[in-house]
Amino acid sequence: MKLLIEGARLIDPASGLDRVGDLAVMDGRIVGVGTAPDGFSPEQRVAAGGAVLIPGLVDLHARLRAPGSALEGGIESELQAAVAGGVTTLVCPPDTDPVLDEPGLVEMLMHRTERAALARVLPLGALTRSLAGEALAEMGALTQAGCVGLSQAEKPVRNTAVLWRALQYAASFGHKVWLRPQDSFLGGGVAASGPLATRLGLAGVPAMAESIALHTLFELMRATGAAVHVQRLSTHQGVALLRAAKAEGLPVTADVSVHSLHLIDQDIGFFDTTARLEPPLRQQRDRDALRAALADGTIDALVSDHVPVDADGKALPFAEAQAGGTALELLLSLALHWGAQSGLSLGHALGPVTGRAALVLGRQAGRLQEGAPADLCLFDAGARWSVTPERLRSRAKHSPFAFERCGMEMPGQVVGTWVAGRRVFGGAGA
């Protein structure tokens, strides 16, 4: 199939491309950027009308269904939410039900997501069996089944010797390990340690829970040479340690969630469970450090941290409520919002959700270049919209960015999404 998207503002953050022109697609791949190749005869034409055409968003952390959630039919609805938000590739952690610790389970998940024929789903396999932190999972078999890395999801490996062996094995066979840095003995709280948590009587998670985990992790990386992706960094101390590790030359990358990038502990308000998140919202100096690190590239990617929680999971006292919120459809808008507040160009603001995120995966994605997969997002940069339950396609409706909660209008409206040149969102019936 030959497709021509005409008159778009073409932005490719990876190359610095920012110009008005056409983009040609044939057989699922980009064959012309700026102008169509000679003799190209499109079967479909899309008039962009000056809207912005970028690579489809790459989200490095999104769940299709929260562990223990009562939400059913989650995969299809969450993938519909993904493409409605311009996300064409998402990475799913292994704490599904059952845990992704066997190749057959990975293949089953991939079959279901491929059958939905919406966004691409790249699973992470379990680093240890059942995520129990004791026996190593079959890393090689999980990788062969399609996993892009090995992870413990929200369950730290308590036994440092086990983590050391895991990184040794991963380094020997070239597997990348994805870990959220949190000391298991200090990470049992529900809010960031500080005056607000004390005043509300909430159990706190100290910043050193992240720092100690990073110190341990970086020391093990020095010993093993393993490549590690640090997930959802949340503290200014963590940013400093990450910056030093990169300067040292350790093979480490990192991401931050849209929640930690925009919100602080004060946004909990009076026990508002939509702000019950993992990692917990921290103080303003943490948010400022995360924003600066994302802007200068110390933090590689911005992730939605999408966790579809059902109504029952949030209708509980704050400390008992399920952590998480819907965010797949907000990722583009919150990247644009951060960019505008930080005085960044459109291309700079979109890098952490396109080309820079794809580099973490080591895959050919997140680019507008000839030969690349035609995974595309077309959006109206001047549009504004509100986060309301009626607007969201995700089966989960809880977000700390809900309009009725904060009155915030989101910048940027997705009008079309393509995966491998096939339109999966927008147009008639969208």
Which of the residue ranges 113-117, 300-304, 405-409 has the most confident prediction, judged by mean pLDDT?
300-304
Residues 378-390 have pLDDT tens digits of 999 999 999 999 9
Range with lowest mean pLDDT among 69-73, 256-260, 275-279, 302-306: 69-73
> Domain boundaries in the chain?
2-54+372-388+407-425, 55-361
Q: How far apart are CA 259 and CA 279, in angstroms?
A: 9
What span, in angstroms and rounded, lies between the C-alpha atoms of 58 and 9?
A: 20
| 106's tokens | 């990975």
* Angle formed at CA 156 by CA 266 and CA 230, multiple of 5 degrees: 70
Of residues 190, 292, 168, the one with CA closest to residue 233: 292
Q: Which amino acid, 179?
A: L
Question: Would you say 175 and 149 are in contact if contact means Cβ atoms under 8 Å apart?
Answer: yes
Q: Torsions phi, psi of 427, nearest 5?
A: 80, -160
Average pLDDT over residues 346-357: 98
Q: How far apart are CA 21 and CA 164, in angstroms?
A: 51
The residue type of 371 is: G
Positive/negative CA dihedral, 274, 200, 210, 315: negative
CATH no. for 2-54+372-388+407-425: 2.30.40.10
- Could you tell me if 426 and 378 are in contact, meaning their C-beta atoms sit under 8 angstroms apart? yes
pLDDT at residue 361, as a whole number: 96
In angstroms, the CA 240 to CA 298 distance is 9
User: Cα(419)–Cα(300) distance, rounded to whole angstroms?
Assistant: 23
Place of tokens 């491309």: 17
12, 286, 300, 305: which one is catalytic? Answer: 305
* Cα of 32 vs its chain's centroid, Å: 29
Closest listed residue to residue 261, CA positions, set 294, 228, 306, 229? 294
SS3 content of the chain, % helix, strand, coil (to 5): 35, 25, 40
Question: CA 19, 86, 227: angle at the middle one, nearest 5?
Answer: 95
DSSP at 227: -
| Interatomic CA distance for residues 407 and 384, integer angstroms | 12
What is the tens place of the pLDDT at every residue in 107-117?
999 998 999 99
The label of the residue with tokens 């039900």 reads: 97
pLDDT of 429 reads: 44
Place of tokens 């966790």: 307
Distance CA 257, CA 262 (A): 9
Give the C-alpha separation, 285 to 283, whole Å: 6
Average pLDDT score over residue span 87-94: 97
Query: For strand 29-34 and strand 17-26, is the pairing parallel, antiparallel, or unpaired?
Result: antiparallel
Work out the number of other CB atoms within 10 angstroms of the CB of residue 269: 14
Q: What is the C-alpha separation between 184 and 179, in angstroms, rounded?
A: 13
Q: What's residue 364's pLDDT?
A: 80
CB within 8 A of 326, min separation 6: which ones? 81, 306, 307, 308, 309, 392, 394, 396, 397, 398, 399
Catalytic annotation present for 380: no
In this prediction, residue 430 carries a pLDDT of 46
Tokens read off for 370: 């000839």
Question: Tokens in use for 70?
Answer: 């009562």
Lateral strand order in the sheet of 177-179: 125-126, 150-151, 177-179, 228-230, 252-257, 301-303
126-173 confidence digits (pLDDT tens): 999 999 999 999 999 999 999 999 999 999 999 999 999 999 999 999
pLDDT at 66: 52
Enter the pTM of the model: 0.96
Amino acid letter for position 220: L
CATH topology of domain 55-361: TIM Barrel (3.20.20)
